Amino acid sequence: MSTIDLHAQVTRLRRQRRSGRPAPLRVGIWGPGKRALHFYAPIVRALGDELELVGVAGRHEARAQVVAEPYECAAFDSIDELIEKTRPDLLIVCVSYGMNGIAALRALDFGIPLLLETPLSSRLRECDAIVQLVAEKDLPVQVAEQNFLFPVEQMKTQLVSDGLFGEIVTVENDYWGFRYHGMSQLRMLAGFSNPVQRVRGMERTVKVWPHPSKWDGNPAREDERWWWGWLEHAWGTVSLYHYTSICYDAPIRGARSLRFYGAGGFGSNEHYWRFDADRTGQEEVRVEWEWNDLGEGARALAALVARPVGGAPIRWENPFADLPFDDDHIGVACSLMELVRAIRAGRSDVRYGVEGGRIDQELCTAIEVSHRMGGEALAFPLDRGLLGEWD
């Protein structure tokens, strides 16, 4: 669905909602790029009972106006002006990749809750400064890591947490998520409270048969870059990270997957199996998708329902079942609403805050450092003396 279609659908649906809720939180957006245009602005509008978009700021007011105009809010060429004139309750920071760390530190000066983009920063020293400043200010700051919040991943986490497959032995990520995205997915299934203690990594560039690539526009792509990571967790779990630069459009690399293997079963993407009753074979844990008809050709995911043989159904309910969101929109909206709930409750703790963003960036760094050291296993967190250019 295009941004324009999504805007029209949610405008119609908002008129049908009941009144009597708390006043919406005022939201500013810093960075009028694709993420703001296709995700944050339409999601904020869709969540109009909770949020109100009051301004968009960028280096050029005309570009900010492209995002702001459809939502009838102000555009600014200065973040200071946006803060001064609109007084937002929270700020979404979605500047260009290389400016994430600098922008986060600047935004913290305003003393308001923040939603920050990934990666937190490519520099660990900058990540440290952000973590320290957030702790000093005691603010709720959420990092918008949406990949482990896709509906399929939330269902998977729920099934694993419910013990349906026993203790998790290993988690394997075959180019389901790149770098920090992949790290967050691995840690989600291994358990965020199950810390990584040792890391080793390897990278390699190889030649493949020349072929056209829609991804990078190369009519005869022949270079492929591989990344491998081995993560050992405190509880004995091993996470394996596996990524290739041509995974998105090369037919020779097969399906992307996020898998886990437990003491009593295993899962891959949205498919699950475990021991049958006498433990001589396997039985499938089927997952069904339930949909809501929103009218005018639109529909929304209502729930995912897992049906273990001989057990009660296990449901994951979509909190946005009345909105025509795709998986990416659901992931971003879940992250944003985690921040909203923290603000409403007066809490500074969030599910995936700056500490989580820093850990996942350091894991990516650890894989690179280990590779440079010939694949040596490194204690985690890293010895700062090893970091050099990455610090």
| pTM score, whole prediction | 0.89
Q: Which one has a higher pLDDT value, 15 or 359?
A: 359
Q: 291 near 324, Cβ under 8 Å?
A: no
Note the pLDDT of residue 18. 42
Task: Write the Ramachandran bin of 210: left for phi over 0, alpha for psi from -120 to 50, otherwise beta.
Answer: beta
Q: CB within 8 A of 46, min separation 6: which ones?
A: 6, 10, 13, 14, 320, 323, 325, 333
Q: What percent of the chain has pLDDT over 70?
A: 94
% of the chain residues with pLDDT over 90:
83
Q: How confident is the model at residue 391 (pLDDT cuts 50, 70, 90)?
A: low
Boundaries of every domain in the chain:
3-147, 154-327
Beta strands at 265-268 and 298-307: parallel, antiparallel or unpaired: unpaired
pLDDT at 131 over 80: yes
What's residue 59's pLDDT? 92
Instruction: For residue range 188-245, list pLDDT tens digits in order.
Output: 999 999 999 999 999 999 999 999 998 888 899 999 999 999 999 999 999 999 999 9
Instruction: Return the pLDDT at 6.
Output: 57
Does domain 3-147 correspond to CATH entry 3.40.50.720? yes
Q: What is the pLDDT of residues 79-102, one digit of tens each?
A: 999 999 999 999 999 999 889 999
Q: What is the pLDDT of residues 37-52, one digit of tens each?
A: 999 999 999 999 999 9
Which is nearest to 326 in space by CA: 51, 49, 12, 2? 2
Confidence of residue 167 (pLDDT cuts 50, 70, 90): very high
Q: How many CA atoms lie within 13 A of 131 on its CB side?
A: 17
State yes or no: pLDDT of 388 exceeds 80.
no
Bridge partners (DSSP) listed for residue 203: 227
Q: Which residue type is seen at 57?
A: A
User: pLDDT: is 1 or 325 the higher one?
Assistant: 325
Q: Is the pLDDT of residue 375 over 70?
A: yes
pLDDT on residue 387: 75
Average pLDDT over residues 238-256: 91
CATH of domain 154-327: 3.30.360
Instruction: Tell me what pLDDT residue 5 has.
Output: 53
Top-confidence residue, 171 or 10 = 171
pLDDT average, residue stretch 142-166: 94
| Phi and psi angles of residue 87, each rounded to the nearest 5 degrees, phi first | 50, 60
Residue pair 200/370 in contact by the 8 Å Cβ criterion: yes
Contact 33, 96 (CB under 8 A): yes
- What average pLDDT does the chain have? 92
Instruction: Give 227's strand partners.
Output: 203, 243
More confident residue, 216 or 267: 267
Question: pLDDT value at position 138?
Answer: 95
Average of pLDDT values for 332-342?
96
